[in-house]
Amino acid sequence: MLKKIVNFIPGAIGWFFKTSWKKKLVVTLLILIAGFFIGYKIISGSKEGYTLGTVQKHTVTEIVTESGIVATNGSVNIYSPTNGVIDQVFVANGESINENQVLFTVKSTATSQEKTTAYAAYEAAVAAVKQAENTHRETLATVERVHDDVKNHSKDESFLQKETRTTAEVANDNAYDALTAARAKLLSAQVAYQATQNSKVVAPVSGTVSNLSVVKGSSVVVNNVLVPTVPVLVISGPGETEIVVSVGENDIDKIKTGQEVEIKLDAIDDRIYKGMVKRFDNNGTITQGVVKFNVYIILTDSDDRIKSGMTADVDIVTNKLTDVLAVPNSAIKPYQKGRAVRKLGSNGKLEFIPVKIGLRGKEFTQIIEGLTENQEIVVSLTNEKTGRKSLLGF
């Protein structure tokens, strides 16, 4: 029989290509219709499959899952104070250093004219601060004298006294603002002048060198708030390694200090780390219309493979109930504005059992009312019919 079918196929194909286009169209439609009905019969004839289970006592663990970034407390970014080139580097990545140890030196590439201009601007800023300080002292003395004149007239202060006092106070406030602005300009001028000078950079704290980004001869520039630069190096202090995650407003009330955390790092596949909630923000921040609260998690079993900046997925255990009646989460279904589980009736049809649920965990949901231990239920269905019709109305 199989041999006859094999011999028939080449002849049928040859006839199809030689026949008229009308016959080709008819044959194609017949094949499509036959294929559709065969497929429909196969699908409609398949039986529903049930995954059955029994109601048992379990540990129900509620978790909040979020993603965050590893951060090391005590890390200090070190930038060049000079626009120029690295003259010498005295440290290496992974090296332990002490406070005030020399890290690197920088040779300025500023011209003589740039140095002179920067120094002149710095001296002018120094003079402006001195002048602003003198003015502020004068206005402050005037305010104190006026206040002394009217101190016994708090209830019967005349219009002229009030005007004199107000004028003196406004003048003093303006003088203070001018002094603050002059000091800011002096700081800016000082940084600009320093940027034209050769410099020797020392460690502000003890720690370990990391992220060294330069070698001798590398060009460096002063860091600018508006145009940030890459640090020359980073000093990692002895601070704790934390993971910072943002939790939504619906979950933040579940978070408490001391809660256990499981941590999975994207870069480390072979280990799940342990952690603990150290602290969390009381005031949220709004990002794109969503309120988020930062939660800070410390690692309780950290190792040398964990690096600052790594991405981490965390499961914060916010509640745990042991030895309670529970069913798999997939067994719980919406039913008449409440919840229910399903069972197979005596006629083989599905029946709903209304239940009152408690804590919903990662795998199981607590059952408070409606079920008894060892009762058989339907956990899930396979090939479940949806009642949706085909394009042809079946």
- Helix (H/G/I), strand (E/B), else coil: 372: coil
Q: Mind listing the pLDDT tens digit for each residue in 214-269?
A: 999 999 999 987 888 999 999 987 667 899 999 999 999 999 999 999 999 999 98
Please tell me whether residues 358 and 259 are part of one structural domain.
yes
> How many domains is the chain built from?
3
- Does residue 40 carry a pLDDT above 80? no
* pLDDT at res. 329: 93
Q: Are residue 248 and residue 195 in the same domain, yes or no?
A: no
pLDDT band at 16 (very low <50, low <70, confident <90, very high): low
User: What residues contact 210, with CB distance under 8 A and at least 6 apart?
Assistant: 93, 94, 233, 234, 235, 236
- State pLDDT tens for residues 345-372: 888 889 999 999 999 998 999 999 999 9
Are both 205 and 327 inside the same structural domain? no
Looking at the structure, tell me whether residues 263 and 209 fall in a common domain.
Answer: no
Q: What is the 3-state secondary structure (H, E, C) of 109-148?
A: CCCHHHHHHHHHHHHHHHHHHHHHHHHHHHHHHHHHHHHH
Residue 46 has pLDDT above 60, yes or no: no
- Which domain range does residue 19 map to? 2-45
State whether 146 and 184 are in the same domain: yes
Entry pTM: 0.55
Residues 159 and 278 in one domain: no
Q: What is the mean pLDDT of residues 38-62?
A: 72
The CATH number for 301's domain is 2.40.30.170
Query: CA dihedral defined by 81, 82, 88, 91, rounded to 10 degrees?
Result: 20
Tell me: do 63 and 106 sit in the same domain: no
Among left, alpha and beta (phi > 0; psi -120 to 50; other), residue 181 is: alpha
Q: Report whether 16 contacts 24 (CB < 8 A).
A: yes
Report pLDDT digits (tens) over 74-89.
788 999 999 999 999 9
Same structural domain for residues 253 and 226?
no
pLDDT digits over 310-356, tens only? Answer: 999 999 999 999 999 999 999 999 999 899 999 988 888 899 999 99
Last residue of a domain, one of 234, 249, 270: 234
- C-alpha closest to that of 205 among 237, 234, 233: 237
Q: Is 273 exposed, middle or buried (0-12, 13-18, 19+ CB in 10 A)?
A: buried
Sheet with 96-97: strands ordered across:
76-78, 233-236, 207-210, 96-97
The 10s digit of each residue's pLDDT in 177-222 is 999 999 999 999 999 999 999 999 999 988 889 899 999 999 999 9
The domain boundary, picked from 184, 217, 234, lies at 234
Q: Taking all residues of the chain, what is their mean pLDDT, rounded to a whole number?
A: 86
Give the pLDDT score at 162.
82
- Of the residues 234, 255, 276, which one is the last residue of a structural domain? 234
Q: CB count, 10 Å around CB of 76?
A: 14
Q: The tokens of 29 are what?
A: 């439609």
- Is 322 found in the same domain as 250? yes
Percentage, residues of the chain above pLDDT 70 = 85
More confident residue, 19 or 277: 277
pLDDT at 387: 39
Residues 6+ apart with CB under 8 A from 368: 325, 355, 356, 357, 358
Residues 131 and 246 in one domain: no
Both 36 and 137 in one domain: the answer is no
CB 314 within 8 A of CB 261: yes
Residues 198, 156, single domain; the answer is yes
Cα–Cα distance measured from residue 211 to residue 229, given in angstroms and rounded to the nearest whole number:
13
pLDDT: which is higher, 378 or 13: 378
With beta carbons less than 8 A apart as the criterion, state whether 242 and 297 touch: yes
Burial of 220 (0-12, 13-18, 19+ CB in 10 A): buried
